Chain A
Amino acid sequence: MTGGRIFTIALIVTSVIGAIGIFVGGWWIVFLIGLAVGIVLPARAALILGALFGLATYLEPLLRDHLIYGLGPTATSLAAIMGYPHQPAIPIVLTCALGLLLGLAGAWLGSAGRAFFQPASSR
């Protein structure tokens, strides 16, 4: 398999696992998966994958809910609760950013930890 195909499969697998996690309340699972990705994959690929799957994991349920229920009133209400009435993009961006950052943080920590603890001879 090509690297691109492996990356795509990894993105799908991690996103599915992440989605299952968040639907049972485990929002932090994105960070843990990112950590694992960072330990396993090369640094650059890990960071990209971590950010992308984190974003995908948080974005997918929003898209699904939007198609089924329409997210406009919910986003507007959340924005109002946050103190930004009439700016529904803010909670959407915040949610997506949270997923992205959790995945990225995990991947970065995993990758940096592996590099730090790995014996020099095996590098």
Chain B
Amino acid sequence: MRLANFAAAIVFSVAILYVSFVGAGPLPALGPAFNPGTGAWTMAFDASIGRETQHLTGLQQPVRITLDRDGTAHIVAQTDHDLFLAVGYVHARFRLFQMDLLRRQGEGRLSEVVGKKALDSDRFELQLGLLRTAEQEWNGRPGPSERARMAILAYTQGVNDRIAQAEFLHQLPAMFTLLGYQPKPWTPIDSLIVKGDMTQTLNFTDTPLVMALLERSLGPDLVSKWFPVLPPNPQSPYDPGPYPARPTVAALPAPQISGAEAVAAADAYQRLASRPAGLVATGGASNNWAVAGTRSASGGALLAGDPHLHLTLPAIWYQLTMDSPSYHVAGVSIPGTPVVLIGHNQHIAWSLTDAQNQQTFYYSEVEDAAHPGQYSWNGSWRRYDTASYDIPVRGGPTERLTVKLSVHGPVITERGQTTTVWWAGNIPSQDLDVLLGVDQASDWQQFRDTLRGWYSPTHNFVYSDDKGNIGMISAGYYPHVKSGRPWLPMPGTGEDDVDGTIPYDDIPQVYNPPEGIIWSANQRQVTADYPWYIGTASNFFDPGYRANEIHRVLSQGGKLSAADMMALQTDTRDYLASEMVPILLTVMPASPARDLLAGWDYRMETGSAAATIWWAFWQTYIAQAFDPWWKAKTVPVDRSEMNDSLGQYLESQVMAGSTVCPPEGCSPSAICPTEECSRFPLNVALDKAIRSTLDTLAKSLGADPKTWTWGRVHQRTLQNLAKITGLDYGPRPDRGDANTPLAAPDFPSSHGPSWRMVVDWGSGTFMGIYPGGQSENPASQWYTDRVDTWWDGRYAPMLTADQAASAPGATSWKLQP
């Protein structure tokens, strides 16, 4: 009996201690995680913000921080060093887990904390090389500038001050406790990695692989029609020329995509497609524009910017103002980096959109059995370099990864054909120093000169200043390829290598254009006359509908105000619909659905049933027109991935009248790009699409078309960064679509305006808002407190430090040496 009792007590105790020390299944180690004194419950204390005085190692002079009612941090430092140290401290105070995730993603160390499910991501990142590049940027020659080195080192000190403080006080963010690990000290390379994450998200693409698969299956004729280099539809480039003359290079005959290359492309494409969203750029969606003082109601220049990114909680942005002897800047920063990326200082304001030029090229390396481990380049055989990494895996053995590198870049696949990738994001750059320079610039000349050093991702930097001037420059690295077809994988023999960049004076740019307006929305910035190759229309650039709509509104004449800028940022007019629906109405039989479309203002509002009919029709039309081809040609690329390009082609055909047959019947040659095309004519697809759309909507939403409102089918979600769905915001019905200025692609949409800023230098108006909140702590009032303001299309004033200090609800911190 005593033995049985003792044995039962041992078993019971071991079980309790096991789940407490180790956890069980999905449960973390319960002991440390649910310790009410130091575990995850401390997020209650962390969420409570009051007046504080903190002593930080490395600080030179006292620093004042004012946290205004919505958590925006206003930092006033007496030295530049202390400013960056304080930024690091504040970032870590509110976003340490996010920062750790960002560096782990880029450094291939996610598996260390979440296990083998992140191994593919880690392998890919180490293969691609953000870590190698960051190490070269920091440790190589010439290395960072003195300005950047000081800023990054001070920032690193501030982050590590907070990590040490949080560990000592048992105040690490709850996610560390729940995942059972402690953050390692921050390093300067981590900051460079975080910047690299953004470069990858915005500019690393698989398009040449996709184009290779399309060309192999569809053939070069259809590919050149459906996925051309220059856009087939009408666009609104912001830089219409004239352009500098340069000798025209004759196009060389290019070889067809071989079977081995197709196998390699398919393998690499599949591997990239299976990566988590955000690791490969899949098209851009951001807006920015400026209005000169001569066109504004206030007499001062206007600027509006809303970069569209994956919308997460916490957001990618942290809002702050930075004041020190050399910096007086306000705007949004990315936790992990010491700079304001979008904002304004005392004299200038700026925002950015992705420029979309091609920065990723794939090379088919020439190998042969007589030269194992080597590749042929410029007539000689070279041995691949290698880099080896250990990937620690939680709950499993550490994995050893060896990456092979040619002169072009890392080997991305060896199936079928060894293929390497050249990516501008792998060129060591001074990009953080450039951003520090932008933060300090006071006029266009300084702004433009500073951006000369910007590499990647290429951005359309819009500019306005307190003198009424406006400008835009699409700064970044524009790789120039010696010959070949850069939108496809190219031979790695040397003839098709990147041999330089487009000269800085020749890249797209304008300053004080006569119309007094400048706009960008990821559209191709230049006309067909531009003499340099910068990327294909089919995938790198936006179809242009947002840019067209923005251009249309800004060009309407009259004086514009900050309120007009805000209205345009939140406008839901679909430019494509405004082109297509009038034509659709000419062939659509009379019906209640047709009546709704006829009375529609082309706005994708949640209460609009016409919006649903239009969207469903357009998607169905693309499917009816191209799915037969996909099936007949066994195309190994998801057709919906190519909808932007196919839609552009379809739009151009509809606009040309090629899809509506005259009473006497259609001529196949009028509606098809090739003879073969007459197998699946577009006018037949149009008829089928109309019928199918109405049938499908009636089945899914009911018989009455008036009830088919957009809000029933289109919702938006702000996703928790750690993918904890219970901490998401939404899904909630929302307006907009992929083509509206207020962008809301996908169903549900989790991509869109990640920060909206409007500046009016004439009236001294500085407004901004982002969806989310300043804190990553879900128990904090600053986790989602800005969402409703953003959702409703309202803005918050961007206060100065002095304004914030006297505003109601502000809290002040003192940081002491």
A115 pairs with B5, CB closer than 8 A: yes
Whether B724 and A81, one on each chain, are in contact in the complex, defined by CB atoms closer than 8 angstroms, is yes
- Tell whether, in the assembled complex, residue B8 and residue A71 are in contact, meaning their CB atoms are under 8 Å apart: no
CB atoms of B32 and A25 under 8 A apart? yes
B230 interface residue (CB < 8 Å to A) = no
A109 touches B10 (CB 8 A): yes
Pair B37/A69 contact, Cβ less than 8 Å: no
Interface string of A108-119 (1 = CB under 8 A from B): 110111011000
Contact (A74, B779) CB under 8 Å given A85-B726, A112-B6, A116-B3: yes
Q: Which residue of A lies closest to B31 (CB)?
A: A27
Q: A68 to B174: give the CA distance in the assembly, Å.
A: 19
- Pick from B41, B44, B175, B727: contact of A95, CB below 8 A: B41
Q: Tell me if A105 and B35 are in contact (CB < 8 A).
A: no
Q: Are B36 and A95 in contact (CB under 8 A)?
A: yes
Instruction: Let me know if A83 and B726 touch, CB within 8 A.
Output: yes
Pair A81/B31 contact, Cβ less than 8 Å: no
A residues near B38, Cβ cutoff 8 Å: 22-25, 27
A21 to chain B, nearest CB (A): 8
For residue B34, CB closer than 8 A to chain A, the reply is yes
| Measured CA separation A62–B10 after assembly (Å) | 29
The residue that B16 contacts in the complex, of A85, A94, A101, with Cβ under 8 A, is A101
Does B181 reach chain A (CB closer than 8 Å)?
no
B32 / chain A contacts, CB cutoff of 8 Å: 25, 27
Complex CA distance for A78 and B40, rounded to whole angstroms: 8
B726 touches A58 (CB 8 A): no
Interface string of A4-47 (1 = CB under 8 A from B): 00000000000000010011110110010000000000000000
A74 adjacent to B47 (CB under 8 Å): yes
B548 to chain A, nearest CB (A): 42
Contact B36 A62 (CB under 8 A): yes
B8, B16, B20, B779: the one within 8 Å of A73 (CB): B779
Q: Could you mark each residue 1-43 of chain B with 1 if its beta carbon is under 8 Å from any beta carbon of chain A, else 0?
A: 0110110111011001100110000100011101111111101
* CB neighbours of A22 from chain B (8 A): 35-38
A23 and B726 contact, CB distance less than 8 A: no
Q: B513 on the interface (CB 8 Å rule)? A: no
Quote the shortest CB–CB distance from B141 to chain A (angstroms): 45
In the complex, what residues of B have CB within 8 A of residue A81's CB?
Answer: 40, 174-175, 178, 724, 726-727, 778
Chain B residues whose C-beta falls within 8 Å of the C-beta of A62 in the assembled complex: 36, 41
Q: Find residues 91-106 in chain A having any chain B CB closer than 8 Å to their own CB.
A: 91, 94-95, 98-99, 101-102, 105-106
Q: Do the beta carbons of B5 and A105 come within 8 Å of each other?
A: no
A84–B724 Cα gap in the complex (Å)? 11
Point out the residue from B39, B44, B725 that lies within 8 Å of A71, measured CB to CB. Answer: B44
**B: number of interface residues (CB 8 Å):** 42
The interface residues of chain B, by DSSP majority, are classed as helix
Cβ-defined contact, A95 with B13, below 8 A: no
In the complex, the answer to whether A73 meets B47 with C-beta atoms within 8 Å is yes
Given contacts A69-B48, A108-B12, A108-B13, contact A61 B41 (CB under 8 A): yes
* B9–A80 touching, CB < 8 Å: no
Instruction: Give complex CA distance A59, B35 in Å.
Output: 10
B779, A98: Cβ atoms closer than 8 Å: no
Q: Convert A66-77 into 0s and 1s, putting 1 for each residue whose CB lies closer than 8 angstroms to a CB of B.
A: 001111011011
Which listed residue, B9, B16, B40, B778, touches A102 by the CB 8 Å rule? Answer: B16
Distance (whole angstroms) from the CB of A96 to the closest CB of chain B: 9
Closest residue of B by beta carbon distance from A57: B36
Q: Which residues of A lie under 8 Å from residue B777 when comparing CB positions?
A: 77
Classify the secondary structure of A's interface with B: helix
Q: Within 8 Å CB of A69, what residues of B?
A: 44-45, 47-48
Q: Kindly provide the distance from the CB of B30 to the nearest chain A CB, expressed in whole angstroms.
A: 6
Identify which of B9, B10, B30, B178 contacts A111 (C-beta below 8 A): B9
Residues of A within 8 A of B10 (CB): 109, 112
Contact A74 B44 (CB under 8 A): yes
Task: Tell me the bound Cα distance from A72 to B13 in angstroms.
Answer: 31
| Cα-based distance from A45 to B713 in the complex (angstroms) | 62
A120 to B17, CA, bound (A): 30
Shortest distance from the beta carbon of B5 to any chain A beta carbon, whole Å: 5
- Interface pair B45/A25, CB less than 8 Å apart: no
B170 within 8 A of A: yes
- Contact partners of B724 in chain A: CB under 8 A: 80-81
Tell me if A79 counts as interface (CB < 8 A to partner B).
yes
Q: State whether B37 touches A19 (Cβ < 8 A).
A: yes
Question: Does B31 contact A98, Cβ atoms closer than 8 Å?
Answer: yes
A48 CB to closest chain B CB (Å) equals: 15
- By beta carbon, the residue of chain B nearest A78 is B40
Interface residues of B in 714-745 (CB under 8 A from A): 724-727
Please, how many angstroms separate the alpha-carbon atoms of A76 and B779 in the complex? 8
Residue from the set B2, B38, B44, B48 with the largest chain A CB neighbour count within 10 Å? B44
Residues of B within 8 A of A84 (CB): 726
CB distance from A18 to the nearest CB of B (A): 10
Asked if residues B36 and A65 are in contact (CB atoms below 8 Å), the reply is yes
> Is there an interface contact between A70 and B37, defined as CB atoms closer than 8 Å?
no
Q: Which of A59, A77, A85 has the most CB of B within 10 A?
A: A77
> Which residues from chain B contact A108 at a C-beta distance below 8 Å?
9, 12-13
A69-B47, A69-B48, A112-B2 known; A95-B34 Cβ under 8 A = yes
Give Cα distance in the complex from A101 to B30, angstroms.
Answer: 12
Write out the residue numbers on chain B whose beta carbons fall within 8 Å of the beta carbon of A61: 36-37, 41
A76–B26 Cα distance when bound, in Å, is 19
Q: Which residue of A lies closest to B45 (CB)?
A: A69
**Taking CB as reference atom, which chain A residue is nearest B12?**
A105
Contact partners of B17 in chain A: CB under 8 A: 28, 31, 105
- Identify which of residues 31-87 in chain B touch chain A, using a CB-to-CB cut-off of 8 Å: 31-32, 34-41, 43-45, 47-48
Subset of 29 A-B contacts with CB under 8 Å: A23-B38, A24-B37, A24-B38, A25-B32, A25-B170, A60-B36, A61-B36, A62-B41, A65-B41, A65-B45, A74-B779, A76-B779, A77-B778, A78-B40, A78-B43, A78-B174, A81-B726, A81-B727, A91-B34, A94-B30, A98-B20, A98-B30, A101-B16, A105-B12, A108-B13, A109-B10, A112-B2, A112-B6, A116-B2
Q: Which residues of B contact A (CB under 8 A)?
A: 2-3, 5-6, 8-10, 12-13, 16-17, 20-21, 26, 30-32, 34-41, 43-45, 47-48, 170, 174-175, 178, 724-727, 777-780
Q: Which 6 A-B residue pairings sit nearest by Cβ, starting from the closest?
A: A80-B726, A85-B726, A77-B778, A112-B9, A61-B36, A27-B35
Given contacts A76-B779, A77-B174, A112-B10, 9 further A-B contacts (CB under 8 A): A25-B170, A27-B38, A60-B36, A74-B44, A78-B41, A81-B40, A101-B16, A109-B9, A112-B5
